[in-house]
Amino acid sequence: MPQTQQNAPRVRTRFPPSPTGALHLGGARTALFNWLFARHHGGDFIFRLEDTDRERSKDEHVDSIIQAMEWLGLDWDEGPHYQSRRFDRYRQAIDQMVARGRAYWCHCPPERLQGVREKALAQGGKPMYDGCCRDLGPGPAPGAVVRFRGPREGHTGWKDLVKGPISFDNAELDDLVILRSDGSPTYHLAVVVDDVDMAITHVIRGDDHVSNTPRQILLYQALDSPIPQFGHVPMILGGDKTKLSKRHGATAVIAYKDMGYLPEAMLNALARLGWSHGDQEVFSRQELIDHFGLEAVGKGAAVFDPDKLLHLNAHWIQHSPPQRLAAALPPFLAARGVERFDEATLLAAIPHLVPRTKTLLELAEWAEPYLVDEVVMEPQAAAKFLTAAQAPVLERVAAMVERLGVAESAALEAGFKDLAGDLGIKLGGVAQPVRVALTGRTASPGIFEVMVILGQARTLARLGRALKMATSAG
RNA sequence: GUCCCCAUCGUCUAGCCAGGUCCAGGACACCGGCCUUUCACGCCGGCGACACGGGUUCGAAUCCCGUUGGGGACGCCA
């Protein structure tokens, strides 16, 4: 459903994380929105790594971010581009601005800057650079930086795609550093040059960037470059309404993969955080692409709700083909010590397990009894249901299975009811000991379903073993 | 402190732009019930919000102003 107008430039968005940590929920949502916007409009999604901070940028973070993007299925059309490889280009842009008087060298030592800020703050103003070197006109020197020469009057504004019109008084903006004393460009300069060179048409980012936007717009103008459209999406907050951080539990998206979440659930949850489409709650990847638009993004910050993610995960697990689930399960099974198992058995069991499962972790837990040779008896369950008093039940059920097999569920159920009647107990009185015998637990899918998946031989073997435990239990 | 942004159930939100059909709808969570061989799924029901104060108007969740509250930014981090 591309809606690109003939004369409008092709939509190009980008996701530019700085590799100083893992991809967290907020970053993932920003990536998602950019990706959705590009896909919806049939445009391009560019992936870029903002690693101009050589101290904090790490290769391992690059790898983990890419891993998270791939897990979510956010594929990019170009990149990853690395800012660290484009320093010459930035330097060229800076030199050009200096040559044209749009930027100037500044020799102010850090201590002086510090003092200027403190003084401004003390006087009730904003801590800004006072423009000391602005008209002094010193040239380059070791330890000097280059600052952008911003206008002191007028105002700079734009029509934000999610927030509406926003405007800043230029007097509120100080002359920001664009070249560090070590010769590297700063963030503001690098993003603008990159977005210009990469022909980005829409900058969709967290609203912690709104106050950066006027300065960047000024930079575009100084570079005589077209200004992209901006859309600032509200931030994601933790349960205590403060900026999401490690304190709020798992914030790295990739951690959710290991906790047994499906990427479609994560995508669904992230999209609904801030964006909506009427009352619809569940969206497939394609539906997200079809319906996504910045005009439907809310303006207020949102709190991430783990319960809702869990609910969505349960939904997507229930709506996944068994094969897909089986393919994702081995790591979770292995974590439980189940390395080798019969795949057909797993596939047969999954449909019965899925309604009581919210994560792949739980699915592996439910699946275990079907896949191991000898079930692990939960002590509490055995103590309650595998007693001498229940031995006759197990004995007679075994005889029944011997005679009828496991395929005749209706006949077995009738047999169970007769047995319960004979013994003067409820149906549960028969079913529970059998359940524990077959699965080692007090909770499982329907007991006749379990038997079918186990097959007659294994059902009988487990009944036999349980009978031994029961008779010797006293 | 200064500037910018925001404000509907505990949480995510619909409604707001084009005021009445909203004593505000959906979802998650929670509570109760039904179903039932266990645990779930499912179904039914319940609890629960327009931050406050002014104004405009016949009429405001919706428009305007103010207050309060919250968030963000103010780096040679991004």
Mean pLDDT throughout A292-319?
A: 95
Give the residues across from A303 on adjacent strands.
A237
The first and second tokens of residue A89, run together, are: 């280009």
Report residue A474's pLDDT band, with 50, 70 and 90 as the boundaries.
Answer: low
3-state secondary structure of A353: helix
Give the residues across from A45 on adjacent strands.
A13
- A259 and A381 together in one domain: no
Q: Output the CA angle A69-A74-A80, nearest 5 degrees.
A: 65
Residue A116 in any domain: the answer is: yes
Residue A1 in any domain: the answer is: no
Question: How do A177-179 and A145-148 pair as beta strands?
Answer: antiparallel
Measured CA A23 to C1' B15 distance, in angstroms: 34
Domain finish residue from A187, A203, A233: A233
Report residue A7's pLDDT band, with 50, 70 and 90 as the boundaries.
Answer: low
Q: Which residue lies nearest B8, CA-to-C1' measured?
A: A300
CATH number, domain containing residue A347: 1.10.8
Q: Which nucleotide is nearest to A417 (CA to C1')?
A: B37
Which candidate, A254, A262, A298, places its Cα nearest to that of A282? A262
- A385 and A363 together in one domain: no
CATH number, domain containing residue A472: 1.10.10.350
Measured CA A294 to C1' B61 distance, in angstroms: 23
Q: Which residue lies nearest B40, CA-to-C1' measured?
A: A356
Which candidate, A268, A263, A363, A257, places its Cα nearest to that of A318? A363
Residue A2 in any domain: the answer is: no
Q: Which nucleotide is nearest to A190 (CA to C1')?
A: B78
Residue A315 in any domain: the answer is: no
| DSSP-assigned letter for residue A407 | S
The first and second tokens of residue A182, run together, are: 């070590």
Q: Where do runs of H (alpha helix) occur along A41-172?
A: 59-72, 87-99, 110-122
H or E element that contains A178: strand A177-179
Please report the DSSP string for A290-307 in residue order: HH--GGGB-SS-EE--HH
Separation CA A471–CA A40 (nearest Å): 66
Instruction: Indicate if the pLDDT at residue A1 is higher than 50.
Output: no
Instruction: Indicate if the pLDDT at residue A44 is higher than 60.
Output: yes
Name A307's Cβ contacts closer than 8 Å, sequence gap at least 6: none
3-state secondary structure of A227: coil
Separation CA A90–CA A376 (nearest Å): 64
Question: How do A155-160 and A164-169 pair as beta strands?
Answer: antiparallel
Q: What is the pTM of this model?
A: 0.93
Amino acid at the residue A316: W
Measured CA A350 to C1' B56 distance, in angstroms: 62
Q: Counting every residue, how long is chain A?
A: 474
Tell me the residue range of the domain where A361 lies. Answer: 321-368
- A129 and A224 together in one domain: yes
Q: Where do runs of H (alpha helix) occur along A261-390?
A: 263-272, 285-291, 306-318, 322-328, 330-334, 343-353, 360-371, 379-385
Separation CA A273–CA A71 (nearest Å): 19
Q: Regarding predicted confidence, which is higher, A292 or A58?
A: A292
Which candidate, A77, A9, A68, A91, places its Cα nearest to that of A48? A77
Measured CA A94 to C1' B60 distance, in angstroms: 53
Amino acid at the residue A122: A
Which of the nucleotides in strand B have any atom less than 7 Å away from a protein CB atom? 1-8, 10-16, 25-29, 37-41, 70-78
The first and second tokens of residue A307, run together, are: 């319960």
CA torsion A280-A30-A258-A320 (nearest 10°) is 30
Residue A251 in any domain: the answer is: yes
CATH number, domain containing residue A41: 3.40.50.620
Q: Which nucleotide is nearest to A315 (CA to C1')?
A: B41
Which candidate, A52, A43, A39, A41, places its Cα nearest to that of A81? A52
Q: Where do runs of H (alpha helix) occur along A372-446?
A: 379-385, 391-404, 409-423, 427-439
Measured CA A251 to C1' B67 distance, in angstroms: 36
- A199 and A103 together in one domain: yes
A364: how many CB neighbours lie within 10 A of its CB?
24
- A93 and A227 together in one domain: yes
Least confident span in A47-61, A68-82, A335-349, A364-378: A47-61
Give pLDDT tens digits for A440-471: 999 999 999 999 999 999 999 999 999 999 88
Q: Which residue lies nearest B15, CA-to-C1' measured?
A: A278
Residue A270 in any domain: the answer is: yes
Q: Which residue lies nearest B38, CA-to-C1' measured?
A: A443
How many structural domains does chain A have? 4
- A346 and A229 together in one domain: no
Measured CA A187 to C1' B77 distance, in angstroms: 8
- A242 and A227 together in one domain: no
Name A154's Cβ contacts closer than 8 Å, sequence gap at least 6: A170
Q: Regarding predicted confidence, which is higher, A231 or A142?
A: A231
Q: Which nucleotide is nearest to A206 (CA to C1')?
A: B72
Average pLDDT, chain A: 92
Instruction: Indicate if the pLDDT at residue A262 is higher than 90.
Output: yes
Least confident span in A110-124, A261-275, A300-314: A110-124
Contact A132, A108 (CB under 8 A): yes
Q: Is A246 a catalytic residue?
A: yes
Amino acid at the residue A212: N
Give pLDDT tens digits for A168-196: 999 999 999 999 999 999 999 999 999 99
- A404 and A463 together in one domain: yes
Q: What is the pLDDT of residue A3?
A: 44
Domain finish residue from A233, A263, A296: A233
Instruction: Indicate if the pLDDT at residue A231 is higher than 50.
Output: yes
Q: Which residue lies nearest B3, CA-to-C1' measured?
A: A172
Q: How far apart are the first and last CA of chain A?
A: 71
Report residue A4's pLDDT band, with 50, 70 and 90 as the boundaries.
Answer: very low
Residue A3 in any domain: the answer is: no
Q: How far is the CA of A14 from the CAs of A49, A262, A380, in angstroms?
A: 10, 24, 55
Residue A42 in any domain: the answer is: yes
- A101 and A216 together in one domain: yes
- A279 and A403 together in one domain: no
- A335 and A388 together in one domain: no
Phi-psi region of A224 (alpha: psi -120 to 50; beta: other; left: phi over 0): left
Least confident span in A148-162, A241-255, A373-387: A241-255
CA A160, distance to chain mean position in Å, is 26
Give pLDDT tens digits for A119-144: 888 888 888 898 888 888 778 888 89
Give the residues across from A160 on adjacent strands.
A164
Domain finish residue from A310, A339, A354: A310
Please report the DSSP string for A266-284 in residue order: HHHHHHHTTB--TT-----
Q: What is the pLDDT of residue A298?
A: 95
- A90 and A229 together in one domain: yes
Q: At what angle do helices A427-439 and A409-423 cross, to 10 degrees?
A: 120
Separation CA A313–CA A263 (nearest Å): 9
- Choosing from A119, A126, A159, A246, the catalytic residue is A246
CA A3, distance to chain mean position in Å, is 28
